[in-house]
Amino acid sequence: MASRTTSMPRPVMISKRRRKSLAIRGACWIVLSCLCIATMGSIVKTLGDHLSSFQVAFFRAAFGLLLVLPLVLPQGTRVLRAKRPFLLLGRGIAGAVGMTAGFYAVVHMPLADATAITFTAPLFVVLLAGVFLGEAVDASRWFATIMGFIGVVLLLQPDGGMIEMAAIVALIGAMAIATVKLLLRSLAKQEQALTILLYTSLVMTLVTAAPAWLTWKTPAVAELALLLVVGVLANLGQYCMIRGYRLHEASKLAPLEYSRLIFAILIGAYFFAETPTSATLIGAALIIAGNLYVALGKQSAFDHNGSINDLRYVAGIANSRIS
C-alpha cells in the first residue's frame, strides 16, 4: 500500500504591500466612523432646540433594539437565559445614563468640549478598576490618568468656583460609559453575545422611555427623519469602526479615533459658530495624551483601552453563533 503523507498547513504570509494596503483601508474605516459619530452629534445638537435629550436617547435606544431583534428572534428562548441578570441590568442602566448625559452635553456645550470630555471614559476605567476592583495600576499609568483629568479641569473652566451643569453631566456620562466597559469584562466571560446585546438594548429603551414621556414633545416630520438619521449614523459609525479594527492592529489604529475631535471642531465652527478656546485645545491635548499612554503603553492588567476591547468584542458579536 502506498503510504499517505499528511501535509502540515502552512502559515499564511502577508506581503508588506498587502499589510500596507490593509492598514490604509483600516485607517479609512476608522476616520469614516469618527465622521459619522461627529455628524450624529451635530444632529443631536440641532434636535436639542426642540426635543429633550431624554427623547433623543429613547429614539436612539429603540432604534438599536429594533436592529437587534432580527438577530435574536430566530434563536428562540435560548437568548433570554441570562446567567448574570443583575449585571445585565446594571450595564443597561449605565448605558442609558451615558447616552443621555452625552446627548445633553452635546446640546448644551460646544461640540469640541463635549467630545473631548467623552474621551475621559478610558481614564475612568483605569480609576474605577484600580480603586474598586483592586487591579494593579503602575505609577506611570496613574500619572497619565492624572494628566488627563488636569485636561478636564482646563475644559471645565470653572468661573468663580462654579462649573457648568452641562460639564458635570458630561463627566457623569463618561463615568457611566466606563462602568459599561467594566461590566462588559465580566459579562463577556459568562453570557452569550446576543444575550448581552438584547438585554442591554431592552433596558436602555425602557430606562429612557419614562423620562422621555415626561418631557415629551411631538416631533415634527423633519425631526422624525433626523431621529432616524441619528440611529443610522450611530450604527454606521460602529460598523465602520468594526471593519477598521478587523483589517489592522487595534494599537496602530487607536490614535485615529481622536480625529472625531477634529471633525467636532470643524462642524462646531461651521454650523454653530463655535470657536475653540486655547483652554479647550490644551485640555483636549492633555486628555488625548493620557488616553494614548494608557491605550498604547506597556501591557498591564488593562491590556488596551476600553474602547478597543469593546470593539473587538462587538466584532466577535457580529460573527457569533449561539450554541
> Hey, CA dihedral for 106, 109, 112, 118, is it positive or negative?
negative
43/248 Cα distance (integer angstroms)? 30
Question: Per 3-state DSSP, what percentage of the chain is helix, strand, and coil (rounded to 5)?
Answer: 80, 0, 20
| Positions in the chain whose pLDDT score sits under 50 | 1-9, 11, 298-323
Q: Is residue 188 a contact partner of residue 17, using CB atoms and an 8 Å limit?
A: no
pLDDT tens for each residue of 62-80: 988 998 888 888 888 888 8
Which residue bears the cell 458635570? 168
Residue 46 pLDDT: 96
Q: Which three cell numbers stand for residue 114?
A: 463635549
pTM of the model: 0.84
Secondary structure (3-state) at 120: coil
Q: Of the candidates 305, 255, 280, which has an alpha carbon nearest to the alpha carbon of residue 127?
A: 305
Contact status, residue 81 vs residue 134, Cβ threshold 8 Å: no
Q: How far is CA 209 from the centre of its chain?
A: 21
SS3 298: coil
Distance CA 41, CA 46 (A): 9
**pLDDT recorded at residue 158:** 62
Please report the DSSP string for 183-228 in residue order.
HHHHHHHHS-HHHHHHHHHHHHHHHHHHHHHHT--PPPHHHHHHHH
* 304-322 per-position pLDDT tens digit: 444 434 444 444 444 433 3
